[in-house]
Amino acid sequence: MRFILARHAETVYNASARMQGHLGHTPLTRDGIAQAEAMGAGLLAALGHAPDVDLWTSPAGRTMQTAAIIAEHLERDFFDFRHDLRLLEIDVGDWTGRHYAEIVADIGPITCPERRVFTVPPPGGEWFPAIAARLQSWLADLDPARDVLVISHGVTLRVLRGLLAGGDPYEGVLLAPDAPQGTVFDIHDGVETVLHQGTGKHSMRSV
């Protein structure tokens, strides 16, 4: 089974360093639209026209807007994408919608810059084992005979990639390295390669 995993393109919240989490819709910037176009072109080159893969996305507006652009490149119907809440980004709880700098000013550092990872659980949100649990549930429901293309989020994909291809132990999960917005990974038999290198930011300031 082959997993093609894509991190959504840049949003207005990413650009202004505001926390998104489970917010329903935060639209793409012009740079984000360009990133999504590049992702679609890269996926077309790798997978060909109308690839026979199952399409999945989180129900967040930013993933669906990215998916709509990719679908046009691949000549697949956008409505073939299945939406699943288990593919949403980390729930940042009380931090949702707030500027990263404002949160840090209130409570101090919340990330490790070297690993680009939260070091403080979001109040009222979720933590890494909960993300892994929902992703394991989603994986268990897949048809193992079908390859999948998934449009999801930075933290969620780091946990999913850890489940599929391994990573560094962190807070009870295996966490894959961070990657810029617009990056696409190809995982097959536990081996991960970069299918398309994104041009967005490496940032925990606006997940």
| pLDDT tens, position by position, 53-76 | 999 999 999 999 999 999 999 999
How much is the mean pLDDT over the chain? 95
In a domain, 202, yes or no: no
**Does the predicted model carry a pTM greater than 0.85?**
yes
Q: Are 198 and 32 in contact (CB under 8 A)?
A: no
In a domain, 205, yes or no: no
Q: Are 201 and 10 in contact (CB under 8 A)?
A: yes
In a domain, 207, yes or no: no
Domain that holds residue 35: 2-196
Domains of the chain: total: 1
Strand partners, 117: 112
Find tokens 């850890």 and name the residue: 162
In a domain, 201, yes or no: no
pLDDT-derived band at 112 (thresholds 50, 70, 90) equals: confident
